[in-house]
Structure 1
Amino acid sequence: MSEYPQGTTRMEQFIPPEGVPISFAIASLGTRLGAQCLDLIFTFLLVLVCAVALAFGGFLPPEAAVTLVILLAFLIRTPYYILSELVWNGRTLGKRITGIRVVNVNGRRLTPHQVTARNLMKEVEIFTPLTLALAMGSMSVWEGGVTSAWILTVLIVPPANKRRQRLGDMIAGTLVVDNPRSVLLSDLVISAPMILPAQVAFDFLPEHLDVYGKYELQTLEDVLRDPTKSSGSEEITVIVRTIVRKIKFPDAVKTGQEMLFLTAFYRAQREHLETLRLFGTRRENKFHQAEKTTGGTGLDIRL
């Protein structure tokens, strides 16, 4: 990944081996704070329900009940963050509402190790300092100084680095980015109709078009809309080779026909996905077959 500016938004660009550049907008600190506050509210409500049940149940002495509630806060909070980001591919409820997600800095899928590491670090970075801050009045001078220094460090790190990563993100190798909804722009085929020479024809069978989903089509659309891309360029050639290999297209794409091939494939793929949608089938990305069998979700930015 390489960071580059785009207006006032911090952007991160990843160029995978296939050569298809994918850009991410780094989530703002305000949005991340909003998501964190929402998640705190959700987990607090769960802990509150447990506390009320213990209070009215009278099963334990008050001191033991308080200790149990503190333990439950940890047992509810930590699995909530880890399981949410594993099931929803880098998103908790708060992140889903605010439109952000966690991604791997290498552009690959998030691993369970990364999700677990970043969220366990959240205990050290956020929740432990908050607990200590509440007890600051009963601390000695040096304990209060150490606690204040740690809290200050945790607060300074995200705005002080270009990727706005907190310590947990740095350790886990993750990044929090905006998650805008992918929308296929309707006027690409209309505004740039495909006109192929008589001797050039690309026929795509259903098995060729069953490989990719809407996300990959959106990526290809971005490539076709880029005026700097042209047939014969190394990047376009690599993209064509990748698609030909993955869909097992039998015919060779001659030099100079790369953009014609991509435009033809885009049009055929879009018509195929729109036809499937009419019959109630939605394919968000190329992992649709795996999701049917495993129930999992994921996002790999490579074509």
Structure 2
Amino acid sequence: MKLRWRKNSRATLPAGELVPPEGVPLKLEVAGLGVRLAAQITDVILTLVAAVCLLILVASLGFSAPETLMAIGSLMFFIIRVPYYVLAELAWNGQTVGKRLMKIKVISHDGKSLSTHALVLRNLMKEAEIFLPATLLLTLDAATPLASGLALGWIAAGLMVPLCNRYRQRLGDLMAGTHVIHQPVPVLLQDLAGNPAPRTSRKEGFVFLAHQLDHYGAFELQTLETLLRAQEASAERGRNLKQDATIEAVVEKIRQKIGYANKVPAAQRLEFLRAFYNAQRAHLEQRQLFGEKRKDKHYTAKGAPS
């Protein structure tokens, strides 16, 4: 499922929030440059420490002359760094140690699983965008101002790319079709059965008999729960005629299906649906205790589709 930005997202959504084509907001906030830099520094320190440890081991064993230790250390840093980023993001689904600590991760722009090709490409481009010019900049001196200026301009241009696109993608992300987001925090929704709708003037409420609850299964119950949650969310923004028409159609469909004779007033339709949801859920859970799992309305007593 490809993600896109809502046209008026700046007016209605927090900066960086993504929405799919269906229009339902997904809390996938794009990671800022600060938190990405902190994760990058953490990963660089880890790989640098590993390279230094190997360099000390090589020097202590006498495998290299002192004048070549710097070149060998740079090579070890490169050999450790590139596989580390690729393998870590493959193993941890788009995260390195630094990204895990900063609670950010890499995702595919089209919503699919991360591919090895994309991770290899984005991390190899990181070498060309950041590490190679940074290495050149560190090895140059005042005697070569033109080369130093070119290396500095290279780094500056690479850092400007994320500032010029809405997903904060660097060049490697643009080529690989990825971007970095804050890791979503799982939220447990409130149990609808534990929060019944407020009663209206109807004192007796809505009562459903066992034979009326045998028409639907778990699938229909989940569909009704989705509808009720959507109505709760839309209540904060205000109701509209289309939503009222949907609620009326659902209520009438359920009444006809279960044989509920009494007409439901417009002011009590949501109360009716909430009461039916609670009764239907309790009925299915009770039947499940006896080993019967009703998947949907086509289920029969023998457990096969009707």
- Say whether 1:2 aligns with 2:16: no
Corresponding residue SS for 2:169: coil
Relative to structure 1, the CA distance from residue 29 to residue 264 in structure 2 (aligned partners, 3 Å threshold; closer, same or farther) is farther
- Contact 2:16–2:166 under 8 Å retained in 1: no
Corresponding residue SS for 1:116: helix
Q: Provide, for residues 207-250 of structure 1, a one-character-per-residue CA deviation record: whole Å limited to 9, x for no partner.
A: x99xxxxxxx9x999757521699987xx9xxxxxxxxxxxxxx
- Contact 1:11–1:23 under 8 Å retained in 2: no
How many Å apart are 1:69 and its aligned residue? 2.1
Q: 1:73 aligns with which of 73, 77, 101?
A: 77
TM-score (norm 2): 0.63
Greater fraction of residues in strand: 1
Partner of 1:13: 18
Q: Provide, for residues 3-61 of structure 1, a one-character-per-residue CA deviation record: whole Å limited to 9, x for no partner.
A: 52378952242325x77542311111111111111111111111111011112221222
- Say whether 1:226 aligns with 2:229: no
Q: Provide, for residues 62-117 of structure 1, a one-character-per-residue CA deviation record: whole Å limited to 9, x for no partner.
A: 23443322211111100111111111111111111111111111222211111111
Alpha-carbon distance in 1 for matches of 2:12, 2:42: 29
- Say whether 1:118 aligns with 2:125: no
Alpha-carbon distance in 2 for matches of 1:40, 1:222: 45
Worse-superposed segment, 195-204 or 61-70 = 195-204
Number of residue pairs aligned between Structure 1 and Structure 2: 237
Question: What residue ranges of structure 1 are gaps of 5+ in the alignment?
Answer: 210-216, 237-250, 273-303
Partner of 2:51: 47
- Contact 1:38–1:94 under 8 Å retained in 2: yes
Partner of 2:40: 36
Relative to structure 1, the CA distance from residue 155 to residue 139 in structure 2 (aligned partners, 3 Å threshold; closer, same or farther) is farther
Q: Which amino acid aligns with 1:226?
A: A
Partner of 1:146: 150
Relative to structure 1, the CA distance from residue 196 to residue 54 in structure 2 (aligned partners, 3 Å threshold; closer, same or farther) is farther
Question: What residue ranges of structure 2 are gaps of 5+ in the alignment?
Answer: 199-204, 247-256, 258-268, 286-306
How many Å apart are 1:141 and its aligned residue? 3.7
Corresponding residue SS for 2:151: helix
Alpha-carbon distance in 2 for matches of 1:86, 1:196: 53
How many Å apart are 1:172 and its aligned residue? 1.0
Relative to structure 1, the CA distance from residue 196 to residue 47 in structure 2 (aligned partners, 3 Å threshold; closer, same or farther) is farther
Q: Which amino acid aligns with 2:158?
A: V
- Contact 2:121–2:175 under 8 Å retained in 1: yes
TM-score (norm 1): 0.64
Corresponding residue SS for 1:89: coil
Partner of 1:132: 136
How many Å apart are 1:184 and its aligned residue? 0.7
- Max radius of gyration: which structure? 2
Q: 2:217 aligns with which of 198, 203, 210?
A: 203
Higher relative contact order (CA 8 A, sep 6+): 1
Relative to structure 1, the CA distance from residue 19 to residue 160 in structure 2 (aligned partners, 3 Å threshold; closer, same or farther) is closer
How many Å apart are 1:175 and its aligned residue? 1.1
Corresponding residue SS for 2:28: strand
Alpha-carbon distance in 2 for matches of 1:33, 1:107: 24
